Amino acid sequence: MYKVFVNDIPIILSTKKDLGEKYVSIPLKEVKFKRIIKKIIKGKLFYVNLHHAKKEKLLKHLFKKLPVVTAGGGMVLNTKDEVLFIYRNGRWDLPKGKIEKNESIEAGAIREVEEETGVRDLKITKFLQTTYHVFQRKGRYRLKVTYWYEMRTDYDGELTPEENEGIKKVKWKDMEKAQKALKKSYANIQLLFPEEILPVHSKDGISQM
């Protein structure tokens, strides 16, 4: 099962034809994806299940529906186990960005974190998960596929937000402050955090696999 976010509304990709009576279920191969996106954006649709019998086919068919942008990002922890957040467009987020041509996803993720926050001496400690969300650029819908890594650093220098990318603040936050920040974050970012610190409204009972 996967979640593809349009704003903060998840489109579910699953092998099940029925997720409950509130869900509109459509075969993934047959769906008019852009039509679904527009209905969600207009507030006319909230629960969508796109299904296919074979799990390995879910992403294959999704990637045929929209142009794909590959990105990498980091949940960065310092020596105090504080998490590095950025503030952009009125929301708390984690640093991430588009992978450049001939660049590995791991190298791109580290580069983007460095550029957006000023933090150095980053080391990837483990892969977390992949998130999927739809965005619009130059009038076209695109699918951003972001590969997230846990990173650690002993950097304690100045934090410098990348202002030309619209980043207003960069902050280290302990788990209590992170919990508050997640109330003003994105649903796909919340997927990266332990369930016990998530806002109540984000616990919808459908997990990503």
DSSP code string of 143-157: EEEEEEEEEE----S
What is the C-alpha separation between 5 and 98, in angstroms, rounded? 18
* 48 & 72 share domain: no
User: How far, CA to CA in Å, does 143 sit from each of 70, 85, 113, 146, 157?
Assistant: 9, 23, 21, 10, 35
Judge if 73 and 151 occupy the same domain.
yes
74, 168: one domain? yes
pLDDT tens digit string along 58-107?
A: 999 999 999 999 999 999 999 999 999 999 999 999 999 999 999 999 99
Q: What is the pTM of this model?
A: 0.91
Distance separating alpha carbons of residues 106 and 93, to the nearest angstrom: 19
- What is the residue range of 25's domain? 2-65
CATH number reported for the structural domain that contains residue 146 in this entry: 3.90.79.10
> Is residue 208 in a domain?
no
Distance CA 178, CA 171 (A): 10
- Distance (Å, rounded) from C-alpha 94 to C-alpha 192? 10
Within this chain, do residues 24 and 47 fall inside the same structural domain, yes or no?
A: yes
Reference 71, options 130, 129, 146; nearest CA is 146
Q: Which of 43, 65, 87 is the last residue of a domain?
A: 65
Are 144 and 175 part of one and the same domain? Answer: yes
Q: Are residues 88 and 114 in the same domain?
A: yes
Q: Are residues 93 and 148 in the same domain?
A: yes
pLDDT digits (tens, 9 = 90+) for 118-172: 999 999 999 999 999 999 988 899 999 999 999 999 999 999 999 999 999 999 9
- Is 151 within a domain? yes
- Of 166, 11, 173, nearest to 182 (Cα)? 173
Q: How far apart are CA 178 and CA 29, in angstroms?
A: 39
